[in-house]
Structure 1
Amino acid sequence: MISGNLFIITAASGAGKTSLVRELLAADPQIKLSVSYTTRKPRPGEVDAEHYHFVDEATFLEMLGEGDFLESAEVHGARYGTSQTRVDSVLKQGNDLILEIDWQGAEQVRRLYPQAISIFILPPSIEALEQRLHDRGQDSKEVIAKRLAVARDEMSHVAEFDYVTINDVFEVALDDLRAIIRAQRLKLQAQTERHQALINALI
């Protein structure tokens, strides 16, 4: 049975991860996105069950206690978690799945799914990251300062990842992500599973 690839995509807040993933999903129906659970409040335009499953603290802790999460972490004062059932279901269907999670979550996932492919997206500079956070218009100067401090700590874990791309020019970073996904699909084991009859006939 063909199983899909599990991709972990991590970036500091403001590095452009969400926009890049959105483009990947729009162009490739074989890629699915794991919708995380979170205790933070929805931002303007965010829809429950589409961007996140928004739950209260008590519900999240109950799910955590019951072992529902593949990984969970606390970031910027809010909790985030990935559904184990959802991950297993998508992969068994042969689809590729993207987890948009932080480095802590990535570390937890790699323990259970060592075959997962991890990608870290970096900004071109700390100044560019700060400007992007300002341009979003969602946070105060104090919150942005805290996010930048957290971002430096997050980016210090870049060496733990399989691939790194720098989101300076959006289309270049997007092409980098597409190349990683395509290369993973062309690995021997994946191609053997998909084309066993052809390979047997040829050799």
Structure 2
Amino acid sequence: MSGKITVFDLEDFFNLSSDLFCIIGQDGFYQQVNPAWEQVLGWKAENLIGHPWLGLVHPEDITISHLPTEPQQQLHWDSRYLHKDGSYRWLCWSLSTSQKGLIYAVGKDISQQLRRIEALQTERESLYNLLNQLPAFLYLQPKDYGVGFYNQRFREVFGDPSEKRCYEAIAGLKQPCPECPTFRVFHSNAPQLWE
């Protein structure tokens, strides 16, 4: 069994990948695309070959620097890319140039990941809004004496703790409290009650 990669192996790799592979000429036009383009974005090879690669990038995401120009130069960026149905998908791109000036680009659809991130952010905002409605003050205490998350009631009682340590914001001290119940939690790993 030989460990050598043949041209056929490379073609298989190019054609079987679920990522978008393409070769772009020095003029910025498609020269070759793999079948994943049709699966991910609905575009067949004949729709793309001879057309500009940047032509399908969302206009707000285009900058002059998005195609590498120097040999062996590599670029990485995210952009919205036009689906054949008229919608846009978020793609993460890796581009590099060959010695001959061809641009090799690999795109990965990250739309679903971004939707999950947005959903988590929405959930977090909903939780923060709920915590801001509580009549009791609430805050998160990291071990570095900063003040992590804090709710609206905390701000009403102690003011804005931004750029302050917990002992400054809560007790008005210049150094950590000698018997801080919060730090007893860190040391004992047990809940503490205090007033």
TM-score normalised over the length of structure 2? 0.22
When normalised by structure 1's length, the TM-score is: 0.22
Higher normalized helix content (fraction of residues)? 1
- Which structure is larger by alpha-carbon Rg, 1 or 2? 2
For CA contacts below 8 A with separation 6 or more, give which structure has more relative contact order. Answer: 1
